[in-house]
Structure 1
Amino acid sequence: MEQRIEVSRNIAAPPSAVWRVLTALDEAPITLRAVKAVERLDGTGYEVGTRWRETRVMFGQSATEEMQVAEADPERRTVVVAESRGARYRTVFDLTPSAGGTDLSVEFSGESGPLGAFAQLAMTLFAPLAKRATRKALEQDLADIAAAAERAG
């Protein structure tokens, strides 16, 4: 079962400033209010193959997930992937220059493996709530990225 959520926002800063904020992994706990810690596992910059553990608060709980850069096209697009408890996650950030700065969109998708009957029922019941909470978290991340990029200009 796959879930997909997309949100976007205009940021009053050039793509170069947005890219710097978006890819500054070591600064994420300062920039993104939901991120509590980042531990690098591979890589010193931001390129395909860079891996890290990210601890963030979701649904009122602290969770740590291992993330990896799967695609990086500077100032245009990046894709981050993760696997956890039988589910695969993919987050795509697209940066598009605009008259007002940069349009930043993020598409988050998650796909679980085969589910048993009880897990399928639970997913059906709780998916709308989880989707709303995830959308809200993505919107907050974009707001935090916008604030940092606009300050940096």
Structure 2
Amino acid sequence: MKQVEVSRHVASPVGRVWEVATDLTGAPDVLRAVTSVEVLTDGPFGVGTRWRETRTMLGRSATEEMAVTAVDPHRSYTAEAHSGGARYVSTFTFVPAAGGTDVTVGFAGTPTGRVTAALAALTAPLVRRSVVTALRADLADIAAAAERG
């Protein structure tokens, strides 16, 4: 699946939005689709941080192991997962803007095998719509939590 991007303005400072978006243990309380998170590494959020996230999407519950692969504190981070014959990359960016923060999340999935690539080509439009819907919901949830303070 080609890169999908969704953006939203959050009426809260970058530091607060970053705090909400990178609080892995708090994710089930913020993101309506996330039912549980198990942090697998110690220490602050940064490159190498790993967690298992269980979320509901398309009426199904799935657990993925995620790993942070890049961080520019209060500006961006990238997390990756490898599952079901594909590599998934999510990138969050945080830009100070008048009255708050502009947040953009990008998501891409790359098949790692021929059979997976063929299946991905057939299902791409449905998957793309579902991913956009999920990303918009996540951003709305992050915005609501950050704006509550």
**Distance of aligned partners of 1:12 and 1:123 in 2 relative to their CA distance in 1, 3 Å threshold:** same
Give the TM-score, by structure 1 length: 0.93
> Whole-Å Cα distance in 2 between the matches of residues 146 and 4 of structure 1?
22
Count of residue correspondences: 149
> Whole-Å Cα distance in 2 between the matches of residues 125 and 81 of structure 1?
23
Which residues in structure 2 correspond to 1:26-105 (within 5 Å)?
Answer: 26-105=25-104
Structure 1 gap segments, 5+ residues each: none
What SS class does the counterpart of residue 40 from structure 2 fall into? strand
> Whole-Å Cα distance in 2 between the matches of residues 33 and 12 of structure 1?
20
What SS class does the counterpart of residue 124 from structure 1 fall into? helix
Tell me if the contact between 2:111 and 2:120 (Cα under 8 Å) persists in the aligned partners. Answer: no
Q: Deviations over 1:60-115 (max 9, x none)?
A: 10000000111111110011111112211110001000012000000001100132
> Whole-Å Cα distance in 1 between the matches of residues 128 and 20 of structure 2?
25
Q: Deviations over 1:10-54 (max 9, x none)?
A: 000000000000010000000000000001111232111010100
Give the TM-score, by structure 2 length: 0.95
Which residues in structure 2 correspond to 1:119-138 (within 5 Å)?
Answer: 120=118, 122-138=119-135
User: Following superposition, which runs of at least 4 residues in structure 1 exceed 2 angstroms of deviation?
Assistant: 122-125
Structure 2 gap segments, 5+ residues each: none
> Whole-Å Cα distance in 1 between the matches of residues 88 and 99 of structure 2?
31
Superposed CA RMSD in Å reads: 1.4
Tell me if the contact between 1:7 and 1:105 (Cα under 8 Å) persists in the aligned partners. Answer: yes
What SS class does the counterpart of residue 21 from structure 2 fall into? helix
What SS class does the counterpart of residue 26 from structure 1 fall into? coil
> Whole-Å Cα distance in 1 between the matches of residues 62 and 44 of structure 2?
24
Structure 1 counterpart of 2:11:
12
Tell me if the contact between 2:111 and 2:117 (Cα under 8 Å) persists in the aligned partners. Answer: no
What SS class does the counterpart of residue 46 from structure 1 fall into? coil
> Whole-Å Cα distance in 2 between the matches of residues 48 and 42 of structure 1?
11
> Whole-Å Cα distance in 1 between the matches of residues 120 and 21 of structure 2?
31
Structure 2 counterpart of 1:151:
148
What code does the residue aligned with 2:41 have?
Answer: D
